[in-house]
Amino acid sequence: MAKKNNEQAVPAAVLRKDDDNAIKISHGYVEEEEVVEEVVEEFNPRKMSKLENTWAKAKKILWPIVKVLFLLEMSFIILFPLFAQLSTTFMSEADVSDPTVEYISETPTLQNYIDVIEVSSYWETLITTILLCAVVGVLTMYVSSLVGYGFSKFKFKGRGFFFAIVILTIIIPPATVMFPMFMKFRFFDIDIFGIIKLLTGWSIVEMITGDPIKMTNTVWPLILLSATGFGFRGGLFIFLMRQFYNGCPNELSEAAYVDGATVFRTYASIMHPLGKSLRVTIFLLSFSWQWTDTFYSGLFFSQSFDVMANVLQKAENLAATNDTATSVMTNTGTMLILVPLLIIFIFGQNLMAEGIERSGIVG
Amino acid sequence: MSDIQKVQETLNTEGQLSAESSVAVAVEELPLNKKRRVNEYERQKTVYGYFFLIPLLVGFVFIYGEILVNAIMFSLSKFDFTGTQYQLVWPWEEGGNASLWHNYHYIFFVQDGLIKDLGTSIGNMLLDIPVVIIFSLFIATIISGKVPGRTFFRAIFFIPAVLITGVIAESQLNNALLNDMNTMGGISTGGIASTSIFSLEDMEEILGDIVFSSSIFGFLQNLVENIFDVVNKCGVQILIFISALLGINPSIYESAKIEGANGWDCYWKITVPMLVPMIYVNIIYTIVDSLCATDNVVMQLMDSFRSSADYDLASATAVTYFIIIGLIIGLISLVMRRFMSKD
């Protein structure tokens, strides 16, 4: 047995040597014709058999197909409920009560859309909401970037305490602050933690104007909250930006400073542009959360205020009392809310990719 | 450590420069004005931090601080709501033997179930974290790479991030038509499995006996059945990972490839370490998302207090809850810090 093994071992070693040479030769040959990536694979010192070669080639073709199939499956899971909602919006009343109709309407109609658009003054609502969301999104984006940078790159007294507050705003259940928040903006007053009013009974705003400012039913509560980083999930965005700037090397800002830039100049022209892709993400998230928001809209706006969250209610009011008719209207409203948002996202997403190409020096 | 220090000491005494002292010399050799600038920079850094925090500080002092103080005051006093006006009655105003902590005493000891509810929701959260992080990292890696039609897919995977909050979630919650469709053989009932050749029951029979213990299998089976929920939970995390992945400089991969790294090496030695800060963010977001979701048992308890106008009890529950969430996040931060201090 041992003898046999020895006999086999010798030619195998020779063969491998030959193979190595063959690879080197073929490598020289490949380099001329194929792209660089392929060459890198050929550098692999492992012996590459023909089978492995074909497998590598097959992987190049198969892998994208597997990926696309997987993504299509996931997309189906995401889109199916929306598709179901969409299909019902074209149904007339006859279709809804017809048990043979499941997804495709027999007498498709656009009447639902016409009705909801009319009753909810949709176009005015659309413009108001776009403006409101844009302002909130832009404020959130810049403020969270600024504050996140402050937390990441500066050491000062109370940093831990203020960062704890940022985390607190993330983990506090929003419903907890609902009532105090409403009271704050219903009787808005400039006060330090509400202590001055509590101890002395003075109210600065009341002294000047005679009455506390009533901010409900205006967009000011939302603007003030997002301008100070306390908007919807503002803490999350600050945290996100801080993590991002933590990953940026200190040497970048130090070099800029040694070259004569002030702290603010360093931020504005070196660090701020680096975070563009993340800022676009933050903008898109806060824009779309404001778009579909019911928490603040319910708190600060009356039913007649033209924001998207109220479209749904107005649509539901249109329907007769029965359940299915209500859901047809709900679904129509949902589509009217969702579709403009998706269109805006597709544009915004291109911005996200653009940001990366322009800021070349990450890492 | 002590060995290294000894070596450094001997090196210094022998007159050879250690790495640190050579840097010090280099700084000293800088022109005077540049050296001053470096020192000044360090000093400025301590002061200028506050300037970057101005929006947050203003917001905290004038708006959010008061709201927080009020929320805590609610939890300590008795909330009296009469029609249009509300009033806080403090225990000492009430007289008798009421203590400052009576709301907390009530939610923990008089009304039962809070501790059990806390246990369930924390348990669910702990199961959510690995599932959501791995799944969203997986999806984000695929979509941020080269995939045919990625603009389309990125738009699709943006939808869950919008769906989880607000008006669209509401529209799907109590939707008679949608519920009908789902029970007719939609996806959320696992109806697909029962019509296919290879059903979930078959899989349970095969895998349940051979590979997994029944509890792990039950967990996995649950995941497969509720894949819609899993995808929906991952929306924001996927977006955060995508933007982080897009932010990695492609030239790092290029140089790694020239040095001979393959795709696997690149992923585990470049991509994942660079994503660690964002994994941290996503873990915290997942915790908060899981614990503050509307279908969370503790949140439902708070809602039930609120609907019966017991704002004081709701606030006490909320304060307790966010102290616990804070502790969990603190613990996880300690663990994550070990990973992040490496680089």
Per-residue pLDDT reduced to its tens digit, B208-231: 565 556 667 677 777 777 777 788
Set of chain A residues whose Cβ sits within 8 Å of the Cβ of B314: 175-176
DSSP class per residue in B196-235: SSS-HHHHHHHHHHHTS-HHHHHHHHHHHHTHHHHHHHTH
Cα four-point dihedral sign A253, A258, A262, A268 = negative
Q: In angstroms, rounded to a whole number, what is the distance separating the alpha carbons of residues A145 and A275? A: 8
Q: Quote the percentage of chain B above a pLDDT of 90.
A: 5
Task: Please tell me what DSSP assigns to residue B308.
Answer: T
Q: Do residue B160 and residue B235 come from a single domain?
A: yes
Please say whether the dihedral angle defined by the alpha carbons of residues A28, A30, A35 and A38, taken in this order, is positive or negative: negative
B147 CB neighbours in chain A (<8 A) are 64, 67-68, 71
Euclidean distance between CA atoms A196 and A174, whole angstroms: 26
Amino acid type, B222? N
Across the interface, whether the CB atoms of B292 and A171 are under 8 A apart is answered yes
Q: What is the pLDDT of residue A215?
A: 82
Q: Which residue has the higher pLDDT, B24 or A286?
A: A286
Q: Is A324 at the interface with chain B, CB within 8 A?
A: yes
The neighbour count for residue A157, using CB atoms within 10 Å, is 10
CA distance B57 to B65: 10
User: How many contacts, defined by CB atoms under 8 Å, are there between A and B?
Assistant: 332
Whether B333 is in a domain gets the answer: yes
How far apart CA B187 and CA A60 sit, in angstroms, is: 32
Q: What is the DSSP letter of A321?
A: S
Residue B296 has pLDDT above 70, yes or no: yes
- Residue A136 is predicted with a pLDDT of 94
Is the residue at B140 inside a domain? yes
What is the pLDDT, as a whole number, of residue A9?
41
Residues B169 and B299 in one domain: yes
Residue B146's pLDDT is what?
80
Closest partner residue to B156 (CB to CB) among A75, A166, A293 is A75
CB nearest A155 (choices: B49, B143, B228) = B49
A241, two tokens: 């930006």
Put simply, whether A104 touches B (Cβ < 8 Å) is no
Q: Say which residues have a Cβ less than 8 Å from residue B161's Cβ, sequence separation at least 6.
A: A285, A288, B235, B236, B238, B239
d(CA B64, CA A224): 10
In a domain, B209, yes or no: no
Domain of B295 in residue numbering reads as: 111-188+226-340
Please indicate, yes or no, whether residues B40 and B164 belong to a single structural domain of this protein. Answer: no
- pLDDT confidence of residue A244: 87
Supply the pLDDT for residue A227: 92
Q: What share of chain B is helix, strand, coil (3-state, %, to 5)?
A: 80, 5, 20
- Residues B130, B174: one domain? yes
Could you tell me which residues come within 8 angstroms of residue A100 by beta carbon, excluding any fewer than 6 positions away?
Answer: none
Q: Which of B278, B98, B259 is nearest to A282 (CA)?
A: B278
B182 and B255 both lie in a single domain:
yes
User: Exposed (0-12), middle (13-18) or buried (19+): which is B268, by Cβ within 10 Å?
Assistant: exposed
ipTM: 0.74
B87-103 pLDDT, tens digit each: 677 767 766 666 777 77
Asked whether A91 and A105 are in contact (CB, 8 A), the reply is yes
Q: Which residues pair with residue B89 across a beta bridge?
A: B78
Name the residue with tokens 């509720």: B226
B82 is a domain residue: yes
Strand partners, B79: B88
B15 falls within a domain: no
Structure tokens at A303: 């039913």
Do B159 and B24 fall within a single domain? no
Q: Both B269 and B252 in a single domain?
A: yes
Q: What residues have CB less than 8 Å from A126, skipping those under 6 apart? A: A308, A340
Point out which residues pair with A213 in neighbouring strands. A188
| Listed residue (B80, B101, B81) closest to B91, CA to CA | B101
Q: Does A156 touch chain B (CB under 8 A)?
A: yes
Asked whether B169 and A329 are in contact (CB, 8 A), the reply is no
The position carrying tokens 């420069």 is B17
Identify any residues that bridge with B86 across adjacent strands, giving them in sequence order. Answer: B81
pLDDT value at residue B181: 58
State whether residue A258 sits within 8 Å of chain B by CB.
Answer: yes
Interface with B, mutate which of A48, A66, A176, A328 (most B CBs under 10 A): A176
Q: Which two tokens stand for residue A22?
A: 């063959």
Residue A213's φ and ψ, nearest 5 degrees, are: -75, 135
The model's confidence at residue B205, banded by pLDDT at 50, 70 and 90, is low
Whether residue B236 is found in the same domain as residue B323: yes
Instruction: Tell me what pLDDT residue A191 has.
Output: 74
Pick the more confident residue, B14 or B82: B82
| CB of A330 less than 8 A from some CB of B | yes
In chain A, which stretches have pLDDT less than 70? 1-48, 97-102, 201-202, 320-323, 351-363
Residues of A in Cβ contact (< 8 Å) with B288: 170-171, 236
For residue B10, the distance in angstroms to the closest alpha carbon of chain A comes to 31
Does A249 lie at the interface with B, CB-CB under 8 angstroms? no
pTM beyond cutoff 0.90 = no
% of chain A exceeding 90 in pLDDT: 10
CA A292, chain centre distance (Å): 13
Q: By CA distance, what is A180's nearest residue in B?
A: B67
Rounded distance, CA B133 to CA B131, Å?
A: 6
B80 φ, ψ (degrees, to nearest 5): -115, 115
What stretches of A65-175 adopt beta strand conformation (E)? none
Q: What local confidence, expressed as pLDDT, does residue A27 receive?
A: 42
Q: Which residue among A43, A154, A172 places its CB closest to the CB of B45?
A: A154
Of B186, B243, B292, the CB nearest to A277: B243
Token couple for B11: 């090196």
Residue B137 lies inside a defined structural domain of this protein = yes
- pLDDT at res. B223: 74
Three-class DSSP category at B139: helix
Please tell me whether residues B48 and B64 are part of one structural domain.
no
| Contact across the interface for A293 and B62, Cβ inside 8 Å | no
A297: closest CA among A234, A218, A351?
Answer: A218
Encode pLDDT of B26-44 as tens digits.
Answer: 445 555 566 666 666 667 6
Per-residue pLDDT at B39 = 66
Taking the C-alpha atoms of residue B186 and residue A331, their distance in angstroms, rounded to an integer, is 17
Could you tell me if A223 lies within 8 Å of chain B, comparing CB atoms? no
DSSP, res A187: T
Give B103's contacts in chain A (Cβ within 8 Å).
Answer: none
| Under 8 Å between Cβ of A298 and A221 | no
Same domain for B90 and B126, yes or no, is: no
pLDDT confidence of residue B188: 41
Given CA atoms A49, A55, A60, A63 in this order, what sign does their dihedral have? negative
- The partner residue sitting opposite B306, judged by closest CB among A175, A264, A311, is A175
Compute the distance between CA of residue B182 and CA of residue B168 in angstroms, rounded to an integer. 17
**Same domain (yes/no): B239, B288:** yes
Q: Quick check: A232 and A144 in contact, CB under 8 A? A: no
> 3-state DSSP call for residue B147?
coil
Q: Which two tokens stand for residue B246?
A: 């897009």
Cβ atoms of residues B199 and B193 within 8 Å = yes
How far is B221 from chain A, CA to nearest CA, in Å? 17
Domain total for chain B? Answer: 3
In chain B, count of helices (H) and strands (E)? 21, 2
Orientation of helix A323-358 relative to helix A276-292, angle to 10°:
170
Same domain, B249 and B159: yes
Give, as one character, the DSSP assignment of residue A243.
Answer: H
Cα angle: B288, vertex A225, B154; to 5 degrees: 55
Q: Please list every residue in chain B whose beta carbon sits closer than 8 Å to the beta carbon of residue A316.
A: none
* Residue A144 forms contact with B (CB below 8 Å): no
Q: Is A228 on the interface with B (CB under 8 A)?
A: yes
Report in angstroms the alpha-carbon separations of B91 from A128, A200, B73, B94, B102: 47, 22, 12, 5, 9
- What pLDDT is stored for residue A208 in this prediction? 75
